């Protein structure tokens, strides 16, 4: 009897250990992309995505954990079950949909125009005859190329484009809206000199990724996301982090 009881206890422990924790969702995030996710001066994981997970979890009533995971292995970790979801400025694409499922979109991270404060112009057409900077090979550079009469100034790094803008070398920068928010609104050396001039010009939506077919996790995330959209929390978080 003692052997059977011990064996039964062992199987019970193993079963509990292998069972999914339905009250907790573990997220992965590569904390190198301010203002979405980054490590602050105090060594804390912060950012819009971090606040978003907290708000969704509170609205839906589940526990959560966010792990800082390097981008080059983040989707492999998801596939192997090291965590249940990835929230790391992940753009929803048809290619990614083939191997993973996504939550409802939560942010349009498309292109916006950044200018020196007081500069007129809210659309790319307003910069015909002027110099607009973008990182080489990006969606922003492609958008500038669609408008005749704008001189595209390409930069290997987007930070160099913002430096050129502040110094008057170019008239505007076009880049992803979260990048614009970081440079123009968050960084002390730029926030008094620059402003975001346009609405989001393209559609490049971020979503929370889970393994293909993980409908239980997606259902919880989408339910919480729907609640914070309805009660205004999502818009408040966007305003906090300078996002459109």
pLDDT in tens, 203-222: 999 999 999 999 999 999 99
Nearest to 87 by CA among 127, 36, 134, 41: 36
For range 170-192, the mean pLDDT: 95
Are the C-beta atoms of residues 173 and 132 closer than 8 Å to each other?
yes
Higher-confidence residue of 93 and 14: namely 93
Residue 19 has a pLDDT of 39
Q: Are residues 29 and 104 in the same domain?
A: yes
Same domain, 51 and 103: yes
Query: Which residues lie below 8 Å from residue 124, measured CB to CB, with a gap of 6+?
Result: 113, 132, 143, 144, 146, 147, 150, 174, 201
Instruction: Please check the confidence at residue 14 and state whether its pLDDT lies above 60.
Output: no
Tell me the CATH number at 44: 3.40.190.10
pLDDT at 244: 83
Per-residue confidence at 235, pLDDT binned at 50, 70, 90? Answer: very high
pLDDT of residue 23: 82
Q: How far apart are CA 158 and CA 160, in angstroms?
A: 5
The pLDDT score that the predictor gives to residue 22 is 59
The answer on 127 and 46 residing in a single domain is no
Residue 175 pLDDT level (bands cut at 50, 70, 90): very high
pLDDT at 11 over 50: no
Q: How confident is the model at residue 21 (pLDDT cuts 50, 70, 90)?
A: low
Q: Where does the pLDDT of residue 12 fall: very low under 50, low under 70, confident under 90, or very high at 90 and above?
A: very low
Domain residue limits at 50: 19-108+205-240
- Check residue 168 and give its pLDDT: 97
Tell me if the bond preceding 35 is cis, omega within 30° of 0.
yes
Q: Can you give the pTM of this predicted structure?
A: 0.82
55 part of a folded domain:
yes
Question: What mean pLDDT do residues 215-240 have?
Answer: 97
The residues near 211 (Cβ < 8 Å, ≥ 6 apart) are: 78, 79, 81, 84, 100, 101
- Higher pLDDT, residue 2 or 218: 218
Of the two residues 14 and 124, the one the predictor is more confident about is 124
Considering the domain boundaries, does residue 11 fall inside one?
no
Output the pLDDT for position 130: 97
Edge-to-edge, what's the strand order for the sheet holding 209-211?
Answer: 63-68, 24-29, 85-86, 209-211, 100-102
Q: Which of 11-15, 50-54, 186-190 has the highest mean pLDDT?
A: 50-54
Q: Using CA atoms, how far apart are residues 69 and 6, in angstroms rounded to an integer? A: 39
The answer for 47, left when phi > 0, alpha when psi is -120 to 50, beta otherwise, is: left
Q: Measured between alpha carbons, how far is 176 from 224 in angstroms, rounded to an integer? A: 26
Same domain, 104 and 219: yes
Q: Is 4 a domain residue? A: no
The total of structural domains in the chain comes to 2
Instruction: Please check whether residues 180 and 215 belong to one and the same domain.
Output: no
Mean pLDDT in the chain?
A: 91
Read off the pLDDT of each residue in 109-115 and give the average, rounded to a whole number: 97
pLDDT tens track for 138-151: 989 999 999 999 99
């Amino acid at each position: 009897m003692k052997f059977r009881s011990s064996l039964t206890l062992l199987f019970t422990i193993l079963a509990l250990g292998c069972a999914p924790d339905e009250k907790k969702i573990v997220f992965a995030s590569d904390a190198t992309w301010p203002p979405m996710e980054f490590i602050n001066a105090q060594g804390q994981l912060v950012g819009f995505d971090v606040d978003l997970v907290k708000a969704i979890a509170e609205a839906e009533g589940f526990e959560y954990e966010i792990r800082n995971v390097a981008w080059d292995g983040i989707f492999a970790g998801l596939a192997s079950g090291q965590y249940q979801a990835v929230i790391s400025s992940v753009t929803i694409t048809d290619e990614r949909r083939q191997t993973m499922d996504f939550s409802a979109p939560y942010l349009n991270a498309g292109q916006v125009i950044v200018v020196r404060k007081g500069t007129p112009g809210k659309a790319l057409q307003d910069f015909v005859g002027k110099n607009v900077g973008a990182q080489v090979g990006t969606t922003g550079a492609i958008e500038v190329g669609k408008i005749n009469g704008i001189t595209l100034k390409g930069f290997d790094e987007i930070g160099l484009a913002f430096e050129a803008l502040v110094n008057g070398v170019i008239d505007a920068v076009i880049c992803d809206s979260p990048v614009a928010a970081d440079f123009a609104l968050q960084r002390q050396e730029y926030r008094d000199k620059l402003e975001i001039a346009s609405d989001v010009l393209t559609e490049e939506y971020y979503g929370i990724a889970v393994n293909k077919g993980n409908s239980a996790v997606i259902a919880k995330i989408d339910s919480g996301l729907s609640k914070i959209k309805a009660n205004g929390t999502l818009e408040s978080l966007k305003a906090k982090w300078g996002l459109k």
